[in-house]
Every structure is written in structure tokens, then in C-alpha cells.
Amino acid sequence: MRRAAVMVGIATLIAGVVAAQGPAGPGRGGRGRGRGVQIQPGEECPAGTTLVRVGVCQAPEWPVPSIVDYRPASTLVVAGHAVPKAKFPVIDIHSHTGPTPQTLDQLIGEMDALNIRTLNNLSGGYGAELKQKIEYIRTTKHADRFTLFANGLDGFRDVEPGYGRKAAAQLEADVKSGASGFKIFKQTGMDTLKKDGTRLKINDPELTPLWETAARLNIPVIIHTGEPQEFFHEPDMHNERWLELALFGDRRQYLNPNKVTFEQLVAERNDLFAKNPKTRFIAAHFGWHANNLGLAGRLLDEHPNVVLEVAAILYDLGRQPRGAHDFFMKYQDRVLFGKDTYAPAEFPYYWRVFETTDEYFDYYRDYHAFWNLYGMGLPDAVLRKVYYQNALRVTPGLPQTGWPR
Ligand SMILES: [Zn+2]
């Protein structure tokens, strides 16, 4: 539909430019008069033009910069509050960073400055690799600062009858080794093929022993299903993730060889949640519903075994601070803090959105969002829940002592 509208618009442009320029053509004309393109109600301006009056589009007189280069500086003068350090200690439930002998001291210094008390590495692996990571953590003076989730056997490759039981046994061994939870990567359910060549759906009954084992061992399953919904659509001029799709080939889910849609993935994931009510699930990245808080609320209402975490969706909370505030008030026991990419310079944006009522401040990545952010002004009781209390409840394997009361 959108594409059809653009095509009509382009036809109008050609006809309109000819009519508007007349015999004189576009002179020096500092005010750009005479270059207008008429459009009908419901039509959009043709490519290369912008709306200047009702029903009239016009092309700029200067060459138009690309969206990569255009970085307008806001002239808004308004009080702002940098928040370099979170108000309460934080558990980052969605990290992929763990300490090594080379990075430990620097990591601890950065985490202390940000008030991150525990970094939970979701890339724990399994078996010997996982064991080795946990054993290293235990040899350090900071064993209570780092935890790991297991990832399951062989990346769910070549699933066939019997896989579920084997993988569940591996998970049990990994939890015995010290894993605090189980992480399902996005490829599982979207890209990974079964031995028979079909897509492994996340609600495939073969995987049931895994969810049952997680419930019995009292560990959460953090599950990344899907991607931002715009990744599943062509990068046309209406796609708000155009730049990201142009930058990163591996995010172009509209080219997914399995031809799976966002809606399909969400339905399969929700079926998994419904069929395993005793298993606690953490829907990573807000279940990719941060741009539709009504849907996020329904997910939580319908599935009491599910909580959300906020990794890499700050741009959606920060563009609807009042709605996000009300959501966090209502579901204050159901949201965990997570960041995904470990970048010390980026965490303070999260603290600022959660803790302040600052207005219209910059975000750190244009490819996520071309807009600015606003603070949600969450009260202390909710900040504590989001920063650490909810994670401690959902993940008993996290260090449970030494938190503020
Ligand atoms: Zn991640």
C-alpha cells in the first residue's frame, strides 16, 4: 500500500513540476516560489520534496545532505541532569561480558563508577567452556560481581528426536557447574534448522525437556525471540530502522531464508510461554514490544511466568516517557535491567531516562533512533525493583546478599 502511494506521488511530481515551473523555470528566487508540487489529500510528497503548505510540496534549493551527515544541534535551553552513576546498585541481567585476567581490574573500576554490582554474562556456553569461565570467576576477589547463563548444547543445531533430553541433561550439568540461568539466542526459533531441514520453532515439543528442567532447577530462561519489527520489512522510505538495515546485513530479516515473520515468531514464543507455565521466562529486549506497550502489557497479563528486560530498547521508552512511566508503575515487579552491549559510556543514558524528568536529550546511536529522549522520573521504590530486586527474585542463583534493604 505504502509503495503504491509513493508511485502515485512520483507520477504527480513529474506532472506537477512541469506545471509549476511554467516557461520561466526555477530562477534565483530566494523564497523558492514557483517550485511547488500539488498533492491531493491522503497523498504524500514525492521523493525529493517536502510539505511547505497544505497540499503543496517543494524541493529544497540546495543539495540535500544524507541522513548520515545531517545532525542538527538542538537550541532548546532546558535544565539537564547527567546521571553518571545509578542511584541504586544494578544487576545487568543481559550482558555478554565476563572478566578475564586482563580485563578484571578495569571492569571492576568501570562497574563501580556506574554502580553496576553484578554483570550477568549470557554467553556462558556449555560444558567445559562454561565450567572454566565460572572457575576463573571464583578464583578472583570479585566472585559476587559476575554470573553466567548457560547456552544449551551445540547451539540447537540439527535437532532430532532425543535432542531435548540430551540438551536438558547438559543444562542440568551446567547449572551444577554454577550457571544461574539459561539463555536462548535469537537464531534459535528464527534461523536454526532441524536435522530434517525445517526451521526449528521455539515451541517445538522436542525442546520441552529443557523448559521442564529449568523449572525444576528453579532457574530462569532468558529468551531473545524476533528482532525489531521493522527488520522484517523492506527498508523503504517509511522504515524507521532504514539506517540500521543499511549498516548491518545480518539484521535484514525481510530477506530471512526461512521467510518467517515477526508475528509468527511472537506467536510461537507466546505459545511456548503458555505451554510451560511453571518455567520462568525473561523476554529479552522487552519482547520487542517496547514500541507497543499495550502489547507488552497483554503479554505480561496473559503470562504470569514472564518478565521483561530493557536491553537495547531505551529509544522506545525515552520517546514515550509518560506511557513508559505508567507501564513501569503498573508492572513494577515485571521489568529487569539489561543492557546487552557493554559500553560504559552508554549506561548513563539509561540511568538518566529512568531517574530524571529531563527533556529532549540526545541518544547515543542514530541508527537506533533519529529522535531524542525524555526522562521517565521513576520513584525510588520502582528503581530498586528494576535495578536489582526483580532480578534477584527471578534468578535465585544471583548473589543474594549485600544489597541495600
Ligand atoms: Zn544479547
Mean pLDDT of 205-211: 98
Summarize pLDDT for 311-365 with one digit per residue, the tens.
999 999 999 999 999 999 999 999 999 999 999 999 999 999 999 999 999 998 8
- Please say if the pLDDT value at position 106 is more than 90: yes
- Please say if the pLDDT value at position 210 is more than 50: yes
Residue count of the chain, please give it. Answer: 405
Task: Give the chain's radius of gyration (CA, Å).
Answer: 25
Q: How confident is residue 308, by pLDDT bands cut at 50, 70 and 90?
A: very high
Domains annotated for the chain, with CATH where assigned, are: 2-58 (no CATH), 90-394 (3.20.20.140)
- pTM score of the predicted model: 0.90
Summarize pLDDT for 257-293 with one digit per residue, the tens.
999 999 999 999 999 999 999 999 999 999 999 999 9
Summarize pLDDT for 49-79 with one digit per residue, the tens.
999 999 999 999 999 999 999 999 999 999 9
Torsion angle of C-alpha atoms 236, 241, 244, 246, degrees rounded to 10: 0
CA of 34 to the centre of ligand 1 (A): 52
Mean pLDDT of 6-33: 42
Q: What's the 3-state SS for 81-129?
A: CCCCCCCCCEEEEEECCCCCCCCHHHHHHHHHHHCEEEEEECCCCCHHH
- Please say if the pLDDT value at position 174 is more than 50: yes
CA of 149 to the centre of ligand 1 (A): 12
- Please say if the pLDDT value at position 3 is more than 80: no
CA of 284 to the centre of ligand 1 (A): 8
**Ion ligand 1 residues within 5 Å by Cβ:** 340
Mean pLDDT of 236-247: 96
CA of 338 to the centre of ligand 1 (A): 9
CA of 300 to the centre of ligand 1 (A): 21
Summarize pLDDT for 115-127 with one digit per residue, the tens.
999 999 999 999 9
Q: How confident is residue 405, by pLDDT bands cut at 50, 70 and 90?
A: confident
- Please say if the pLDDT value at position 99 is more than 50: yes
- Please say if the pLDDT value at position 8 is more than 50: no
Q: Which residue has the cell 520489512?
A: 233
Mean pLDDT of 194-216: 97
Q: Where are the alpha helices (DSSP H) in 192-304?
A: 208-217, 242-247, 262-275, 293-302
Nearest of 175, 172, 153, 151 to residue 162 by alpha carbon: 153
CA of 187 to the centre of ligand 1 (A): 11
